[in-house]
């Protein structure tokens, strides 16, 4: 995910949004009240305090979290974020969404999320390593291939995952790379993991275009957020679907050229200058303006709450493919549904990352690794199956795709809860 900050609102609470979305699905499913109440809350939460020695010899205190939302269907899975505005409610919401994400993809996993309140841009490599190891020293007691397997998320990288896997292995006294996914290939990572979130999103968008009878060749497309998911969406959107990417943005702003933006040139410009802004031949747009451009496809790939009640009625895109987590509020969902805008919800559209992370867990468990083409093939199959399952439920209940995805996922988790005798 990219680093673009969402519009701030004192009333916005991502966990309340997650609960509201669950409540809507539970009502349609006529969920048992005890099961419904159980699924509204995380099963376990850990808050940690981390003293870290800085390069200047001083010690700074950081705070972090690990939330294990639900493991009825299998071990916890979910990323670790480093962000200066991290909150426990954001982590709870993301852990809930990860629970529904693994369920809608029919993976034998539960959902969780972790995070540290910090600005990694202000930390040296050595400070980042010491912070990452300190986190595992505190949270490691909850982790393990059969218990909880973290992964990268906002501002965390394969290198950070490598430090964490090493620290965990040191604690255990033997190498256990399978405790973390999104690792470098040399330490048990999976081929195809780097672009998995974006690739899965493109597979989902491709299937949606079939359902909508929509031609994606040269379809004008805007991408908010130019981190891992957003930049790979630029590359793969063109390669796999023939999209014409006319606008992209990062935390400093965006660029727009109706004739299209070349992926290699934009990437090189960002690498050289630190931002996509001031790209030759393109005009500046704000992150807010980018969302409202006259495009066929809009790809929010930044942070939550980007599309809300204040701007949803100005969205002109025909399809919104959510690569970010929680970019659209429930109020915006209703406005967009009434406008006949197709929203491919985050926990379906961006599930390529966790799906290939699951493939990485499988490969780690039996110590045999797949070719990249096989990873792509299996990811395609999982994304395609999940999309049409959600589509069929949406058609049957006459609801938007997010609610349909909730109906599929919540029903699967609720069934596991009932079968295990928890409620």
Q: Which residues are catalytic?
A: 113
Question: What Rg do the C-alpha atoms of the chain give, in angstroms?
Answer: 20
What are the tokens at 66?
A: 């690990």
- Contact present, 204 and 387 (Cβ < 8 Å): yes
Token pair 């705070």 is at which residue?
Answer: 63
Instruction: List Cβ neighbours of 339 (8 Å cut-off, separation of 6 or more).
Output: 313, 315
Give the number of residues written for the chain: 423
Rounded (10°) CA dihedral 228, 180, 204, 349: -80
Instruction: List Cβ neighbours of 11 (8 Å cut-off, separation of 6 or more).
Output: none
Sheet of strand 111-117, all strands in order from the earlier edge strand to the far edge: 44-53, 59-70, 111-117, 76-83, 148-152
What backbone torsions phi and psi does residue 293 show, to the nearest 5 degrees?
Answer: -65, 155
- Contact present, 391 and 211 (Cβ < 8 Å): yes
Instruction: List Cβ neighbours of 86 (8 Å cut-off, separation of 6 or more).
Output: 65, 115, 116, 117
- The span from the CA of 305 to the CA of 328, in Å, is 6
């Amino acid at each position: 995910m990219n680093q673009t900050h969402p519009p701030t609102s004192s009333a916005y609470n991502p966990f309340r949004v997650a609960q509201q979305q669950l409540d809507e699905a539970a009502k349609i499913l006529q969920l048992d009240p005890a099961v419904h109440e159980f699924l509204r809350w995380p099963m376990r939460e850990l808050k940690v305090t981390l003293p870290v020695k800085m390069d200047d010899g001083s010690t700074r205190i950081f705070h972090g979290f690990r939330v294990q939302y639900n493991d009825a269907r299998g071990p916890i899975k979910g990323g670790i974020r480093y962000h200066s505005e991290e909150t426990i409610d954001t982590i709870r919401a993301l852990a809930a969404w990860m629970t529904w994400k693994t369920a809608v993809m029919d993976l034998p996993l539960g959902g969780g999320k972790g995070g540290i309140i910090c600005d990694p841009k202000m930390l040296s490599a050595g400070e980042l390593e010491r912070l990452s190891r300190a986190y595992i020293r505190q949270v490691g007691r909850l982790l393990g291939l059969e218990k909880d397997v973290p992964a990268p998320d906002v501002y965390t990288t394969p290198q950070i995952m490598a430090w964490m896997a090493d620290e965990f292995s040191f604690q255990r006294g033997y190498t256990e790379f399978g405790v973390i996914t999104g690792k470098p290939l040399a330490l048990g990572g999976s081929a195809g993991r780097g672009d998995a979130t974006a690739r899965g999103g493109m597979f989902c968008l491709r299937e949606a275009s079939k359902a909508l009878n929509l031609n994606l060749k040269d379809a004008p497309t805007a991408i908010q957020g130019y981190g891992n998911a957003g930049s790979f969406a630029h590359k793969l959107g063109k390669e796999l679907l023939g999209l014409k990417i006319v606008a992209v943005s990062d935390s400093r702003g965006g660029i727009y050229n109706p004739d299209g933006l070349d992926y290699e040139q934009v990437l090189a410009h960002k690498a050289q200058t630190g931002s996509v802004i001031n790209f030759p031949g393109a005009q500046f747009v704000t992150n807010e303006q980018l969302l409202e451009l006259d495009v066929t496809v809009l790809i929010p790939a930044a942070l939550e709450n980007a599309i809300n009640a204040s701007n949803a009625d100005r969205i002109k895109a025909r399809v919104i493919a959510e690569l970010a987590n929680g970019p659209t509020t429930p109020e915006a969902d209703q406005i967009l549904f009434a406008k006949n805008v197709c929203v491919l919800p985050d926990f379906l559209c961006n599930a390529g990352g966790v799906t290939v992370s699951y493939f990485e867990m499988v490969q780690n468990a039996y110590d045999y690794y797949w070719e990249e083409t096989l990873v792509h093939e299996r990811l395609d199959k999982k994304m395609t199956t999940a999309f049409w399952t959600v589509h069929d439920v949406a058609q049957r209940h006459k609801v938007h795709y997010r609610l349909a995805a909730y109906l599929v996922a919540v029903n699967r988790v609720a069934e596991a809860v009932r079968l295990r005798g928890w409620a």
